[in-house]
Amino acid sequence: MAKHRVYLIPGFFGFTHMGEKPAERIVYFGHVRDVLLEGFQKRGHTAEVESVTGHPTASLEVRARLILRTLEESASGDDAAIHLIGHSTGGVDARGLVSAWLPRQAPHLLERVRSVVSVATPHHGAPMASFFQQDRRGEMLLRLLWLFTVFSLRRGPRPMMFLAFRLFYALSETGHQLGFQATLLDQVTRLMAHLTPTEQATLEEFLDQVGKDQSIIGDLTPEKMVGFNQGNPDRPGVRYGSVITGAPPPSFLGMLRAITGKQDPGMGDLVSFRMLDPQPEVIYGAYSFLYKKSAPDSRELRTPDPSPTHDRLLRDIFGEEYRHRSDGVVPTRTQLWGELITAAVADHLDVLGHFDEPPEHVGWLKSGSHFRAPQFQGLWDRVIDFMVDGSQVRA
């Protein structure tokens, strides 16, 4: 049986897990790890799947060093094929590791790298990075973005999750007038219900790291990514593939779909109990804000034209206007690198299994993507095929 080592590299704000209680633990790649292990086994292969611990907002260089350390500690004892899967910024991390760091620091490991898979990765830059660079407000928004991501994915108390969303939304609109301070975020952290001291300390540590080092923001601007791409060419013998995501653009109909969970909501849904609940509307408002700031039409974002085959596949999935799409964080047109493994109507964290299908799956934002378990399984089956047997691109 062929043996594989798969390393899952988290993206911006990435973490391996958060929380001690099994029923409430957030595992960034938890659902992905399960489906990968099962998929390799079904194909007659053995695999070790490991999530890489990294710094949430440190520079690409710092993040690459952390990944390299993980590989050296875990992969040096055998000759298994190595595959790197990076979500969001993790895809950029993986490319930099294979192009620059492994040739210099661990050529014996480079020889074993078979594939680099990027998932919802800003290969040509993320315009949102330029927004977060603007002023002190950007740091506070980043910390709140982290908070409501944690609250959304955690099976915890909705009031505290809602508070995090409201703070983010208010600060994004009028924060410079309201005079929010970083200490307010610390107060929110301390107020979190049902957190053990260890859980609270872990979360506060991440928030502190975000506050002290946000180098990754500058590294991800479209201008900086031009230089990164020029200085980090693909390595011969390594197969590069990408999974591309795009969520529905914000709209009134989209809000109804996201809140009701119905693809074709009717007038009766306007007066439903769920519509009278303000929480989903605020959460959808946060999604709309992020989608706008992802700036899929930004002039600073310069992306090469896809091949005719890739262009046709993307049009089949997203429609004629796919170049104007975003997954709520990363523009769709900046995500293509190497082969197109598959594409999905999904928001930025849907593809990790963080979508609305309780009790197993808990969503991040109400984007109205309607991404569910069958799409999740099909997407990762195609990734496994890409790693294992080099199957052709399928839409």
pLDDT in tens, the chain (395 residues): 569 999 999 887 555 444 444 444 456 787 899 999 999 999 999 999 998 876 656 677 878 888 899 999 998 888 899 999 999 999 999 999 999 999 999 999 999 999 999 999 999 999 888 777 665 556 566 666 656 555 555 544 444 454 555 555 555 554 444 344 444 444 444 444 455 666 566 556 655 555 555 566 778 889 999 999 999 999 999 999 999 999 999 987 777 777 676 777 766 665 554 445 555 666 777 788 889 889 999 998 999 999 999 999 999 999 988 999 999 999 999 999 999 999 999 999 899 998 888 778 777 677 888 899 999 999 999 999 999 975 334 34
Looking at the fold, whether 310 and 250 belong to one and the same domain comes out as: yes
Looking at the fold, whether 66 and 161 belong to one and the same domain comes out as: no
Query: Which of 193, 214, 235 is the C-terminal boundary of a domain?
Result: 214
For residue 376, what are its two tokens? 């999740």
Rounded CA-CA distance 250/290 in Å is: 10
Rounded CA-CA distance 259/283 in Å is: 9
Query: Which of 214, 229, 253 is the C-terminal boundary of a domain?
Result: 214
Rounded CA-CA distance 259/1 in Å is: 47
Report whether 53 contacts 205 (CB < 8 A): no
Residue 48 covered by a domain: yes
Domain total in the chain? 2
Looking at the fold, whether 8 and 93 belong to one and the same domain comes out as: yes
Residue 97 covered by a domain: yes
Looking at the fold, whether 63 and 172 belong to one and the same domain comes out as: no
Looking at the fold, whether 32 and 101 belong to one and the same domain comes out as: yes
Looking at the fold, whether 307 and 371 belong to one and the same domain comes out as: yes
Indicate which CATH number applies to the domain containing 118.
3.40.50.1820
Residue 284 covered by a domain: no
Residue 194 covered by a domain: yes
Residue 282 covered by a domain: no
Residue 167 covered by a domain: yes
Full residue range of the structural domain in which residue 75 is found: 1-128+215-268+296-395
Report whether 224 contacts 99 (CB < 8 A): no
Query: Which of 214, 236, 254 is the C-terminal boundary of a domain?
Result: 214
